Structure 1
């Protein structure tokens, strides 16, 4: 059976990536394939800029505990990294100058700082390439060279177990015997590591921009600008690569905990600066 017929038989026909259940099924298939295929070898050729980019919406009210997270990354400066922190003002200027009025208008439609962070990271890494990381991440072992072995887009796969309301342990994502029912398989939009112009990021930005400028779109951060948006376009892209018989131009990370981890006990998580505390209607 051809790859096309095989994918069709599994329900992965054109437009499947906009269906939540089909997308999750496809992502599980993709994660298992990516984990078993020989796609983790470094080519020794990497053009991804050594620039670490973060975002915090208000430069004047940066919480001390978030500042501590940001400062943990300063160790990368000795390895030749340029480190940048953008806010609402500087991000607006960057998007306006790089993309123009339409994208600036879409950014202005992002009603929460987390949404603006989501949108800005797509704009920045697509245009200039580099390494984007959330402001609430801290360095662990700091093994950033694991991200710079080649020019593939690097993404972190995740899985949420609905019945228990918990995230699935990382090692279980690559377990063929792990259950599929009741789980949501997807990719995070943190970190983002890529050279300029990667097609997945281009599609993610186009999809987010269209949704933000569509007044009838629901204001759901996950599906509009967040991991849901990125997962949808990645699934569509991977499906097209499979049909064309092309190798992946992205890698699903199994090593992120050796580079960084999310710090959860931060003060802003208790108020509406945390998107999870906002009623999205």
Structure 2
């Protein structure tokens, strides 16, 4: 692990290279990417966790996305829908003053959603999906067959300012120059008390309570934070010779898709339109 020293997850280049290595290892999962272990006893609960900041102002197109998941009720799912008020109450009830204060410092609904999903999944487990995700096929059943944390790997191509197609990420000959490999924090499927969630929540809380009054969302509560937590955890497992307790999803896009042409994306409710203050 000389290429990935302690703390490497805070280096953008090393973190990206490490995630790329994980995807290649998973291609050989039966020999080098063993999943499961003695601590992986609990399955991922059939609980669907979602968030919209204002329950009295859910756009119709977002409501259609949310409704696409209703059929999981026939599969025994529990539905948990949070908003700004119920999220603050949940964190105050389940966590301490630090987490409560950290949530209060999340300056955009997307940040509060990021933070809340970590809190709920750590405490109870389940499947978190964004409110703009639409359920497609029945591949979701695979997610619940064991207790491994499951996340989606992504790759951003800097020269084109666009995402590399999901299927391309698994190509061994995929060029890596000018590309950032990471994992998304949508979806996240996990059993309760997963160590990646413990690490991600602690890391985010520390950043939110730091001196920076306007922390950047991706690295503080979003995919950057979650990727760093996963990478550090994976390194520790590799050094200990312990099987991985997580999995990178190959085909999430066949399970659900993100609807990009939604009304709220054109206004301040879209975190990408969030100003620096």
TM-score, normalised to structure 1's length?
Answer: 0.93
- Structure 1 residue 185 and structure 2 residue 177: aligned? no
Q: Deviations over 1:226-258 (max 9, x none)?
A: 000000011111111111111110000002122
Q: Deviations over 1:149-185 (max 9, x none)?
A: 1100000000000001110111221112111110000
Match of 2:27 in 1: 35
Which runs of 5 or more residues in structure 1 are unaligned?
1-6
CA distance in 2, matches of 1:25, 1:248: 18
Deviation at 1:84, TM superposition (A): 1.6
Conservation of the 8 A alpha-carbon contact between 1:161 and 1:167? yes
Trace 1:189-204 onto structure 2 (pairs within 5 A). 189-204=185-200
Structure 1 residues 68 and 216 mapped into 2: Cα distance closer, same or farther (>3 Å)? same
- Structure 1 residue 106 and structure 2 residue 91: aligned? no
CA distance in 1, matches of 2:21, 2:213: 29
Deviation at 1:218, TM superposition (A): 4.8
CA distance in 2, matches of 1:40, 1:78: 33
Deviation at 1:217, TM superposition (A): 6.2
Conservation of the 8 A alpha-carbon contact between 1:65 and 1:267? yes
Trace 1:144-163 onto structure 2 (pairs within 5 A). 144-163=140-159
CA RMSD, 1 decimal: 1.8
Conservation of the 8 A alpha-carbon contact between 1:40 and 1:251? no
Q: Deviations over 1:195-224 (max 9, x none)?
A: 100000000000000100112365100000
Which runs of 5 or more residues in structure 2 are unaligned?
none
The count of corresponding residues between Structure 1 and Structure 2 is 273
- Structure 1 residue 13 and structure 2 residue 42: aligned? no
Conservation of the 8 A alpha-carbon contact between 1:35 and 1:174? yes
